Amino acid sequence: MRIFKWITKDTNINFLGADKLTYFISTLAVILSIAVIGLKGFNYGIDFSGGILIEIKSNEPLNLEDLRSRLSLVNVGEINLQTVGENGNEVIIRTEADNLDEAGQRAAAAKIKKILGDDVEYRRNELVGPQVGDELKIAGIIASLIAVLAISAYIWARFEWQFALGALVGLFHDIIVTLGLLSVFDMDFSLTTIAAILTLAGYSVNDTVVTYDRIRENLRKFTRMPQRDLLNKSLNDIFSRTLLTGFTTLAASASLFVLGGEALRSFSFTILFGVIVGTYSSIYVSTVILNWFDLRKTIEAGKNVNPFGNVE
């Protein structure tokens, strides 16, 4: 209860006091993320790489070496086995099988099931041809670019260009750092992951828009307050909302990450760490950048302009 009262009470935190440190942290995080993505790449899921994925569950712990030996009779190239959970009775069988067409993949999957027998529970069974995987990868990239461009256009129309610049830098910071984390932790990169990244982009922009609305309101209200103090005040005004929104989203995504199983692990991981990165950037990237400009001059110039940039 005391923690709840502390979160909801008025705060007076000097957020911009750490701006030089956060410039360095944010820049370093983006550079390292780009380097990791370039050097290591992504662990593409079955959606993009194509192949066979079968998830099984047994009543008893499974011996991976024995299982690998039995499955080596199937002519599909290298087979990867991954245990799920702590009991050792759930295993994901994955093979790219890029040398097989769709009919060949179905035949290989049937042979794998015959070897495994009826003593296991089949929880997932996915087959994706290599051509379909490439098409899905291209479609996913195009969909992501269209979504980011649409969000960028909305931000540019919604705010003065200085605000729009800060919001866009924060958005790209969140996406790049989250992609870097997916690469570092070798999480599956699939259509579900792209959905999570776009969800994160919406969350990040919403957080930034709320912050910017308060800053613009305070700029008109406190005409003599120094800009740095005004930015700090605006951040403190909505700090309780930021924390409560972040905590509830983190609680839901953490539950999915722990209890959602392997199918939702990449999605929940992206949301879980993306919310942390997005909350950080709305304060220490999008808002801190505004202090580079004379915002009062911007607001004075735009007094006769409505929020969507049309002259009233």
In tens, the pLDDT along 129-182 reads: 666 666 777 887 888 888 888 887 888 887 788 888 888 899 899 999 999 999
In this predicted structure, the answer to whether residue 42 has a pLDDT above a threshold of 50 is: yes
88: left (phi over 0), alpha (psi -120 to 50) or beta: left
pLDDT on residue 303:
52
Tell me the domain boundaries of the chain: 2-44+133-301, 51-128
pTM across the whole model = 0.77
pLDDT on residue 308:
41
CA pair distance 252, 261, nearest whole angstrom: 14
Write the class of the CATH domain 2-44+133-301.
mainly alpha
Q: Which of 98, 111, 40 is nearest to 70 (CA)?
A: 111
CB atoms within 10 A of CB 29: 19
Angle at 171 between CA 253 and CA 296, to 5 degrees: 125
In this predicted structure, the answer to whether residue 6 has a pLDDT above a threshold of 90 is: no
Q: Which of 125, 108, 133 is nearest to 189 (CA)?
A: 133
Architecture per CATH, domain 51-128, reads as 2-Layer Sandwich (3.30)
Q: Provide, rounded to the nearest whole percent, the portion of the chain with pLDDT above 70.
A: 85
- In the chain the beta strands, taken as DSSP E runs, fall at 43-44, 51-57, 80-84, 90-95, 121-128, 188-189
CA pair distance 292, 294, nearest whole angstrom: 7
pLDDT band with cut points at 50, 70 and 90 for residue 89: confident
